[in-house]
């Protein structure tokens, strides 16, 4: 059964090829069949592989499949080789399983769109690339998948390309992630130069053999890889693209910008954890990036009014938790949180999609209100998603977040201050989550709503809701792939605080946005808190800062250079050549006597050279 | 003269026979088609005879001529080239208002001279060959002097060529005389143990220099190149095609043989002078071609540059390393073939587009504007020839230039290789400019006639285009042939 591993990326890619060849002229029924079916079959194959995988003893849980050698140049021989271990399998669950549910949902959600086939063409390519990224046994192939998902992300954010604003958002996402990718690529070059291999397992064992702990080279490479990871996973300082990426269709936001692609950075660091373990500084940096990002974007989510943007900032914040987990060495907790987050965030996005569709593409939560009665199924599933996001027991999010918080407390790269930040983040998460929940579903109904019913809408929501509720009980086969963090024993008070604070947050949200206590409202709508809220609302003015710091100077430089200063040098050459031509042309005057004289003179020179230097 | 010698000389006798037969025929019965067929037949017969002798070992025929693989290879090249050039000329001549049959007599005499030249290994035959060819060419360059439309230009070109050629021949002859005065030897191989080794005076050095000057004129090396554009422009374009290919290649073939067999490469000062001549040829040729508007003049300048490129390989022969020397000789021979193919296509296209009724041939940029839209076949062939001249891969010109480049690098001639690169870069500009001109939207009134391309021209041009591509992609066949041909030298 493991021999079928290649089918997992192969089937979605085949789907992509069929849809691509169909040129959008296939009947919608077939398009659905190919687009959803290919991912569904891939999920089925994953399941079958998992069954066999779980049957083997844990220590031997790796499987390699070399399809063909991609290219060969000296010692660089990257192949199309797949490598399956517990980590890759966990990721495959998320990608194909959640991916399939989202595809199913999208076949309903996107059905009326005129570019329905194009949508599935892109998403199938995306799934193929994402699976490739996860299964790659060498970093070159991983980079191929990495860039492939980046391309699909670009294509899908700009899916509704007729609005230039969407094109701008797509470009922003592409360019900002490219900055990270450049760092990643440099990291790869450096790794290859130092170790002579890009095979992940070889490189990892070579790294421990070559570099002592805290070696400068290891730190540098780890930081460069972290650069790629923060770009892809929208972490500080490259997080600005993700909120804008919400311009894409909502299933895309669920698939790419919540469940799978944005977690690729987490996967990358987990995959190369040996390298990070070598460097305390790099680990510390990862932890800091995580905690700062989760706080910043948490505060921003608190002030947003657009349903999808709230979820986007929440995604950034939750990935911040994953980075934090990586930074404190709780590798399996990070992947566990990745999975539970995929469940509840995909659920929230898909539910949000249903809501937005029901209220005629209204995304402002203050213009919704009181949708509880009109949309019973979304109400129920959204509640489950919110509970998961808030990490209230016994939802899936509770288990994963608790593991992370405990690990932070006791880790050398964590500590009490970072723990406090993470718990504060959890508290804020609770507030913004239930703020969103209460405003959307309670209070005055601002707009009429028509629920989109049907198999394609409800099944994915309900399945995801069940997963988000009970996903915490899953056992991921990570023990052999990632070093075990061990059960961290923390003081009881610490644990209680971590569990209690989100509940306080929910209560606060209840008072503020359900009961709407005037005194509290007053506090937020006047004075310094209001301007602070405006600051948070702008995403801590990061866009403004980058605009001033990078975009404007670059545009100015481009404008200044629009006269092609560099071209002046070649222009000198061409003008020189033209002058040379004109000078020589003077010699061709057509006068026979002049020609003869030249010949005679030249002959004298040749003869003189022959005699006097000979 | 023995029978074996006679047998070896048979191709030359056949070519001489053509001119005799034609002379007799023309005296009584004028018929262009018949004359052309006799010429084709003679060339083909001679070529078959030469090809039949291939592999039979060197045969000295009289002290003057040697029939070895080298001379057979170049005789064959000359005969095939001449056949193609003659076929391309047929329609042009047919439409002109001059006597046609004499052209074939002059042409076969010129070919006779060329074949004698490449077969000579003795100064006497060498001089006879070169003069036989040149004198025929004077008349051919001025051929249209009988007609109405281009009388003045063609006469001017002819006179210029004749006078300057006379000057150069006198240098050549005087040089031969000085060498003879020093050593008392006229055969190339006889000089091998003497030249540059046992000289009692400077006679032989000056003599060799004068011989080089004489040949430099024929090969239009800078600064002996000035006649080239004027003569190329003034001559009827089929004659230009012949002049640019056969006369250049035969002289180059013999200068290679002369330098190797006589040991002239030992004259270091002379080789140094050749280096500077090569540098000048590449730079000045390309520089003059750069903004040239007249296509015939442009091709004249470009041929100067290409002869300069050839000199890089030629000078590389002087090296002491035997493997490098072999590479350089091969490169020279290969490039000569490449040069013939691409030049012949370019001039063949101009011939096809020109009508002798007009004072101006199809030689301005305007004639080529939008050619792709009017005559796609011709324009494609022209495009291929230009790309090949520019040295773009998949063409014979690329392989040739690569060969020359490799020879230059192997001989460590860094100055020459550097100039070769600069020259090629300049060359790209004017070749591509012409291609761009052909791709433009055509003028409302086409400058060229809309007549059907004659069958002969179509056959010849497609065959040449095919050769250009096939050898460009699979050069091994020609490389093997060239390798065998040049192995006999030294």
Residue B373 CB contacts under 8 Å (≥ 6 apart), including other chains: B441, B442
Output the pLDDT for position A485. 60
Which of A592, A599, A613 is the closest to B269 by Cβ?
Answer: A613
pLDDT classification of B344: cutoffs 50, 70, 90: very high
The vertex-B49 CA angle with B54 and B240, nearest 5°, equals: 100
| Most confident region among A505-519, A548-562, B35-49, B364-378 by mean pLDDT | B35-49
Whether B272 contacts chain A with CB within 8 A: yes
Residue A517 backbone phi and psi in degrees, to 5 = -65, 120
**Model confidence at B445: pLDDT above 70:** no
Residue A549 CB contacts under 8 Å (≥ 6 apart), including other chains: none
Condensed to tens digits (0 to 9), the pLDDT of residues A431-443 reads 899 988 888 888 7
Residue of chain A whose Cα is closest to the Cα of B164 = A596
CA distances from B155 to A587, B140, B355 (A): 22, 10, 19
Output the pLDDT for position A486. 58
**Model confidence at A77: pLDDT above 90:** no
Kindly state the DSSP code that residue A6 receives in the 8-state scheme.
G
Q: Which residues of A touch B205 (CB under 8 A)?
A: 610-611, 614
CB–CB contact A610 B163 (8 Å): no
Count of C-beta atoms within a 10 Å radius of residue A412? 10
CB–CB contact A611 B202 (8 Å): yes
CB–CB contact A588 B226 (8 Å): yes
The Cα–Cα gap between A587 and B280 comes to 14
Residue in the structure block whose two tokens are 């569990």: A499
Condensed to tens digits (0 to 9), the pLDDT of residues B230-241 reads 999 999 999 999
State both tokens at A302: 């608190």
Output the pLDDT for position A90. 87
CB–CB contact B209 A581 (8 Å): no
Residue in the structure block whose two tokens are 């061409």: A574
| B321 part of a folded domain | yes
Q: How many angstroms separate the most distant Cα atoms in chain B?
A: 71
ipTM confidence score: 0.91
The vertex-B377 CA angle with B372 and B378, nearest 5°, equals: 75
Mean pLDDT of B82-87: 96
Residue in the structure block whose two tokens are 């198999």: A455
The Cα–Cα gap between A149 and A67 comes to 21
Q: Which residues of B touch A585 (CB under 8 A)?
A: 288
Mean pLDDT of B171-177: 95
| B209 part of a folded domain | no
CB–CB contact B205 A614 (8 Å): yes
Which of B226, B230, B269 is the closest to A609 by Cβ?
Answer: B269
The separation between CA A269 and the C-alpha centre of its own chain, rounded to angstroms, equals 13
pLDDT classification of B449: cutoffs 50, 70, 90: low
Mean pLDDT of A543-559: 86
Q: Which of B170, B209, B271, B421 to mutate to test the interface with A (most CBs of A within 10 A)?
A: B209
State both tokens at A347: 């659920």
**Model confidence at B444: pLDDT above 70:** no
pLDDT classification of A59: cutoffs 50, 70, 90: low
Q: Say if residues B338 and B327 touch (Cβ distance below 8 Å).
A: no
| B481 part of a folded domain | yes
| B364 part of a folded domain | yes
| B407 part of a folded domain | yes
Which of B160, B227, B287 is the closest to A580 by Cβ?
Answer: B287
Q: Which residues of A touch B273 (CB under 8 A)?
A: 605-606, 609-610
**Model confidence at A215: pLDDT above 90:** no
Which of B159, B209, B426 is the closest to A610 by Cβ?
Answer: B209
| Higher-confidence position of A221 and A454 | A221
Mean pLDDT of A347-375: 85
Q: Say if residues A462 and A380 touch (Cβ distance below 8 Å).
A: no
Residue A475 backbone phi and psi in degrees, to 5 = -110, 110
Q: What is the mean pLDDT of chain B?
A: 91
Output the pLDDT for position B364. 86
Condensed to tens digits (0 to 9), the pLDDT of residues B394-405 reads 999 999 999 999
Whether B224 contacts chain A with CB within 8 A: yes
Q: What is the mean pLDDT of chain A?
A: 86
| B84 part of a folded domain | no
Q: Which residues of A touch B279 (CB under 8 A)?
A: none
Q: Which residues of B touch A590 (CB under 8 A)?
A: 230
**Model confidence at B48: pLDDT above 80:** yes
* Structural domain boundaries enclosing B304: 269-490
Task: Domain count for chain B, please give it.
Answer: 1
Q: Which of A610, A611, A612, A613 to mutate to test the interface with B (most CBs of B within 10 A)?
A: A610
Residue of chain A whose Cα is closest to the Cα of B220 = A599
Q: Which of A580, A587, A592, A599 to mutate to test the interface with B (most CBs of B within 10 A)?
A: A599
- Rounded to 10°, the helix A139-157/A164-195 angle is 170
CB–CB contact A595 B160 (8 Å): yes
| B71 part of a folded domain | no
Chain A and chain B share a number of CB contacts under 8 A equal to 92
The Cα–Cα gap between A464 and A459 comes to 8
**Model confidence at A171: pLDDT above 70:** yes
Condensed to tens digits (0 to 9), the pLDDT of residues B117-132 reads 999 999 999 999 999 9
Residue of chain A whose Cα is closest to the Cα of B290 = A581
> How close does chain A come to B206, measured CA to CA in Å?
6
| B83 part of a folded domain | no
Residue A227 CB contacts under 8 Å (≥ 6 apart), including other chains: A179, A180, A182, A183, A184, A187
Q: Which residues of A touch B426 (CB under 8 A)?
A: 577
**Which of 285-344 (B) contact A at CB < 8 A?**
287-288, 290-291
Mean pLDDT of A498-518: 83
Q: Say if residues B189 and B121 touch (Cβ distance below 8 Å).
A: yes
**Model confidence at B464: pLDDT above 90:** yes
> How close does chain A come to B205, measured CA to CA in Å?
6
**Model confidence at B24: pLDDT above 70:** yes
pLDDT classification of B199: cutoffs 50, 70, 90: low
Q: Which residues of A touch B288 (CB under 8 A)?
A: 581, 584-585, 588
Q: Under an 8 Å CB criterion, which residues of A touch B?
A: 577-578, 580-582, 584-585, 587-588, 590, 592, 594-596, 598-600, 602-603, 605-607, 609-614
Which of A598, A603, A605 is the closest to B226 by Cβ?
Answer: A598
Condensed to tens digits (0 to 9), the pLDDT of residues B299-341 reads 999 999 999 999 999 999 988 788 888 899 999 999 999 999 9
CB–CB contact B167 A609 (8 Å): no
pTM: 0.63
| Higher-confidence position of A198 and B115 | B115
Whether B166 contacts chain A with CB within 8 A: no
CB–CB contact A609 B227 (8 Å): no
Output the pLDDT for position A57. 67
**Model confidence at A531: pLDDT above 80:** no
Mean pLDDT of A527-536: 76
Output the pLDDT for position A520. 67
pLDDT classification of B448: cutoffs 50, 70, 90: low
State both tokens at B338: 């490449």
CB–CB contact B270 A614 (8 Å): yes
pLDDT classification of A614: cutoffs 50, 70, 90: low
């Amino acid at each position: 059964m493991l021999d079928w591993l290649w089918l997992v990326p192969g089937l979605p890619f085949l789907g992509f090829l069929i849809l691509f060849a169909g040129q959008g002229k296939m009947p919608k029924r077939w398009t659905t069949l190919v687009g959803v079916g290919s991912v569904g079959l891939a999920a089925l194959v994953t399941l079958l592989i998992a069954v066999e995988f779980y049957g083997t003893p844990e220590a031997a849980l790796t499987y390699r499949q070399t399809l063909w050698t991609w290219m060969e140049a000296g010692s660089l021989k990257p192949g199309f080789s797949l490598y399956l271990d517990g980590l890759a399998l966990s990721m495959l669950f998320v990608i194909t399983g959640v991916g399939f549910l989202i595809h199913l949902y999208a076949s309903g959600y996107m059905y009326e769109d005129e570019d329905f086939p194009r949508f599935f063409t892109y998403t199938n390519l995306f799934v193929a690339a994402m699976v490739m990224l996860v299964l790659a046994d060498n970093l070159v192939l991983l980079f191929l998948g990495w860039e492939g998902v980046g391309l699909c992300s670009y294509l899908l954010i700009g899916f509704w390309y007729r609005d230039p604003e969407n094109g701008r958002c797509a470009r922003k996402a592409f360019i900002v992630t490219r900055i990270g990718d450049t760092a990643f690529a440099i990291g790869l070059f450096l790794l290859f130069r130092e170790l002579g291999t890009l095979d992940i397992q070889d490189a990892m064992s070579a790294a421990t053999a070559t570099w002592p702990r805290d070696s400068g080279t290891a730190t540098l490479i780890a930081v460069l890889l972290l650069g790629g990871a923060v770009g892809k996973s929208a972490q500080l300082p490259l997080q600005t693209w993700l909120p804008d990426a919400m311009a894409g269709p909502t299933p895309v936001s669920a698939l790419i910008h919540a469940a799978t692609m944005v977690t690729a950075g987490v996967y990358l660091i987990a995959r190369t954890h040996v390298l990070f373990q070598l460097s305390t500084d790099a680990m510390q940096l990862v932890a800091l990036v995580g905690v700062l990002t989760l706080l910043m974007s948490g505060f921003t989510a608190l002030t947003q009014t657009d349903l999808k943007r709230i979820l986007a900032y929440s995604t950034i914040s939750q990935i911040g938790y994953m980075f934090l987990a990586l930074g404190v060495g709780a590798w399996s907790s990070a992947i566990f949180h990745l999975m539970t987050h995929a469940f509840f965030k995909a659920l929230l996005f898909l539910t949000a999609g249903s809501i937005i569709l029901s209220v005629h593409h209204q995304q402002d939560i203050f213009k919704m209100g009181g949708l509880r009665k009109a949309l019973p199924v979304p109400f129920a599933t959204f509640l489950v998603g919110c509970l998961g996001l808030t990490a209230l027991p016994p939802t899936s999010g509770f288990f994963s977040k608790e593991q992370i918080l405990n690990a932070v407390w006791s880790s050398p790269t964590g500590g009490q201050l970072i723990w406090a930040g993470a718990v504060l983040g959890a508290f804020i998460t609770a507030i913004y989550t239930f703020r969103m929940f209460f405003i959307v579903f309670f209070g005055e109904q601002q707009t009429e709503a028509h629920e989109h019913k049907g198999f394609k809408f409800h099944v994915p929501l309900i399945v995801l809701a069940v997963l988000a509720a009970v996903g915490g009980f899953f056992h991921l086969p990570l023990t052999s792939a990632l070093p075990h963090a061990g059960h961290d024993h923390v003081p009881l008070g610490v644990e209680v605080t971590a569990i209690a604070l989100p509940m306080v947050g929910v209560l606060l949200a209840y008072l503020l946005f359900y009961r709407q206590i005037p005194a509290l409202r007053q506090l937020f709508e006047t004075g310094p808190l209001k301007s602070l809220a405006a600051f948070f609302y702008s995403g801590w003015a990061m866009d403004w800062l980058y605009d001033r710091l990078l975009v404007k100077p670059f545009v100015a430089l481009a404008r200044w250079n629009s006269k092609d200063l560099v071209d002046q040098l070649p222009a000198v050459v061409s003008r020189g050549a033209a002058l040379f031509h004109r000078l020589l042309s003077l010699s061709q005057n057509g006068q026979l006597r002049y020609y003869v004289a030249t010949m005679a003179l030249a002959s004298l020179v040749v003869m003189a050279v022959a005699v006097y230097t000979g | 003269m023995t029978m074996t010698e006679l047998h070896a000389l048979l191709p030359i006798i056949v070519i001489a026979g053509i001119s005799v037969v034609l002379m007799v025929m023309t005296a009584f019965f004028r018929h262009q088609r018949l004359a052309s067929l006799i010429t084709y037949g003679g060339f083909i017969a001679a070529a078959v005879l030469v090809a039949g002798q291939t592999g039979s070992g060197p045969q000295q025929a009289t002290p003057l001529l040697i029939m070895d693989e080298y001379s057979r290879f170049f005789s064959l090249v000359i005969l095939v080239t001449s056949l193609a050039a003659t076929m391309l000329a047929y329609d042009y001549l047919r439409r002109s208002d001059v006597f046609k049959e004499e052209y074939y007599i002059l042409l076969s005499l010129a070919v006779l001279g060329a074949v004698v030249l490449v077969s000579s290994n003795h100064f006497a035959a060498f001089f006879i060959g070169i003069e036989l060819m040149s004198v025929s060419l004077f008349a051919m360059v001025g051929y249209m002097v009988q007609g109405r439309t281009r009388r003045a230009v063609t006469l001017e070109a002819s006179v210029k060529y004749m006078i300057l050629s006379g000057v150069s021949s006198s240098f050549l002859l005087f040089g031969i005389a000085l060498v003879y005065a020093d050593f008392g030897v006229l055969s190339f191989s006889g000089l091998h143990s003497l030249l540059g080794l046992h000289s009692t005076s400077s006679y032989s050095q000056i003599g060799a220099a004068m011989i080089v000057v004489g040949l430099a004129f024929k090969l239009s090396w800078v600064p002996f190149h000035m006649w080239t554009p004027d003569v190329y422009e003034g001559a009827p374009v089929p004659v230009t095609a012949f002049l640019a290919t056969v006369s250049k290649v035969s002289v180059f073939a013999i200068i290679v043989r002369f330098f190797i067999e006589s040991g002239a490469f030992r004259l270091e000062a002379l080789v140094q002078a050749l280096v500077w001549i090569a540098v000048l040829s590449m730079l000045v040729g390309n520089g003059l071609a750069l903004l040239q508007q007249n296509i015939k003049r442009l091709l004249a300048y470009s041929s100067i540059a290409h002869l300069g490129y050839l000199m890089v390989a030629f000078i590389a022969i002087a090296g002491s390393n035997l493997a490098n020397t072999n590479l350089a000789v091969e490169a020279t021979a290969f490039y000569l073939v490449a040069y013939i193919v691409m030049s012949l296509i370019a001039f063949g296209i101009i011939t096809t587009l020109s009508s002798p009724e007009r004072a101006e041939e199809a030689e301005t940029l305007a004639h080529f504007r939008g050619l792709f839209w009017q005559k796609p076949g011709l324009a494609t062939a022209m495009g291929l020839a230009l790309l090949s001249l520019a040295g773009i891969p998949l063409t014979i010109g690329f392989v040739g230039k690569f060969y020359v480049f490799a020879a230059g690098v192997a001989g460590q001639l860094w100055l020459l290789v550097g100039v070769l690169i600069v020259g090629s870069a300049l060359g790209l500009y004017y070749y591509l400019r012409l291609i761009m001109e052909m791709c433009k939207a055509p003028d409302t009134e086409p400058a060229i006639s809309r007549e059907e391309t004659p069958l002969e021209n179509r056959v010849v041009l497609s065959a040449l285009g095919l050769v250009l591509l096939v050898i460009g992609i699979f050069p091994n066949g020609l490389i093997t042939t060239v390798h065998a041909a040049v192995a006999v030298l030294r």
